[in-house]
Structure formats: structure tokens, C-alpha cells
Amino acid sequence: MHSFIPADRFFAYLTWPEIANLPDRQNTVIIQPLGAIEQHGHHLPLVVDSAISMGVLGKALTRLAPEIPAYSLPPLYYGKSNEHWHFPGTITLSSQTLAAVLTETAESIYRAGFRKLVLMNSHGGQPQVLEMVARDLHQKYADFMIFPLFTWRVPNLAGSLMTAKEQELGIHAGDAETSLMLALLPDTVKMELAIAEYPQNLPQDSLLSMEGKNPFAWVTRDLSKSGTIGDPTPATVAKGEAIWESLADGWAELIKDIYEFHQPQQP
């Protein structure tokens, strides 16, 4: 059941007396991996975002110093994926349901005596929900430190391995995700079905963009017939392994920083 996560770092394998007797629960880092079950083009499985969270976190935890207490919760496979719901197989929660699940999970962790919770998200359609939940929880519980984080925002090699066009427009099932899945779950990738598809008719010479400082709302069928937004055809196992290694290194460092973190306080 622990998948990529080291068994001794998997929260659900602990007994309640073991949890009650954990030393320094206030600084123990509890991590909730989040992903999605949603379409990823013709060549990738629905589980991509969830697999990335589990794979990256699992490798990061193997690199974490043993004296740093950190545990992974079971993954939350379903997320807010309604931008993809026109493609069969996508399963989506509403933003309200996702927020409720995260809030009630977090409050359970708080009642158990933990004060540091990471929401580790690999799906681009839901960071805003996590950020609102984190702010509301900290407002309610002043000593509860919540970290709404995106898997890809630690230092990593993905950008250096992609073309400039792919870095700008390859936001779903493109080179980076496909390469990483070739390393994580190669038997689920159908490279013979991979096709490149970039959005057409995007605003030109405009401050508006799909994502970034001035985004416009969109659903995937606005941008892609295949469900792919990017070019997966140059993906390789070697690139995937390099991206995986670099993400895991970044996350091991980030978990250490969270363990050492103290909430800023006015004197």
C-alpha cells in the first residue's frame, strides 16, 4: 500500500500508541501527497499527477536524514479536475469537496498533536484551493503551520531539458511529464500514441496568457483535441530519471527546511 514511500515513513502503518509516543510531534513533518485521476492525452494513464507526487516524495524520503521525523499520509488520488471532464475517465471533485476533505484531514492531524502539515500537490488545476485551505486553517489554529506546495517548484532540471516552446506551452502530458512517467511507471506509457499538440489562437502581443500573471479561464477542450498540451514525442527515460533525481533532491532539502521552520511572530 505504501507504493514508492519507504515503509518506515508511511503514516498509515503506525499504530495509535506509536503516534501518541512520537517525540517532538510539533516539529514532525506530515506530508499529504495530492494528485488527480484525469486524462493525460492518448499516451499517458489517468494517474500521472498522483504517481508523480508519490514517486518524488518516496525518493525524497529515502534521502532525508533519519533524524528528521517526516511521514507521508496515504495519497489523495482525486482532485479538482473539472477542466478535463469532457474527456472520458477523468474523475473530479468540486473545489468545495476538495477543500472540505483537506480541512478535515488537517484537523485530524492537528488533534493528534502535529503542527506541521505539507500539502504536496502535483496537479496544476488546484493550487489555489490548497492555498485558501492553508490560510483558513492557520487563521483558525494559530500554532498550525500549513505548507501548500507544488511538486515542480523546487529546483530541478526539467527546464534545462526542454525546448523554449515546451517550457512556455507544454503544460499537460508534454515532454516533462512523459519523461518522468517513463522513469516512474514505464509500462503505463504508450509512446507510439504520443502526439504533439499546442494551443492555437492564443492572444498575441497581449498581457494575457494561459497561466501566469494575467490568466484567462479555460478548459482543456478549448486548447486541445487530444488532451495533450505540449510535445511528448522527445521524451526519454534518461530525461525522466534526471528530472526525478533532481526533484527528489529538492524535496529532501525542502522537508528539512520545513522541519527547521518556525512561524514568524511579532514580538
pLDDT of residue 109: 98
pLDDT of residue 49: 98
- Find all residues with CB under 8 Å of 96, minimum gap 6, and list them: none
Query: How far is 7 from 14, CA to CA, in rounded Å?
Result: 10
Q: What is the mean pLDDT of each run of 10 residues along the chain (267 residues)?
A: 97 98 97 98 98 98 97 98 98 98 98 98 97 98 98 97 96 98 98 97 91 92 97 98 98 98 92
pLDDT of residue 192: 98
pLDDT of residue 164: 96
**What structural domains and CATH numbers belong to the chain?**
7-260 (3.40.50.10310)
pLDDT of residue 19: 98
Q: Which amino acid is at 117?
A: L
Enter the C-alpha cell of residue 246: 533532481
Q: How far is CA 87 from CA 31, 92, 169, in A?
A: 30, 11, 20
pTM: 0.97
- With contact defined as beta carbons under 8 Å apart, do 149 and 118 qualify? yes
Within the chain, where are the H helices? 16-20, 48-63, 95-111, 127-140, 158-161, 164-169, 175-184, 220-223, 237-260
pLDDT of residue 5: 98
pLDDT of residue 213: 87
Enter the C-alpha cell of residue 95: 473545489
- Find all residues with CB under 8 Å of 93, minimum gap 6, and list them: 78, 79, 80, 81, 101
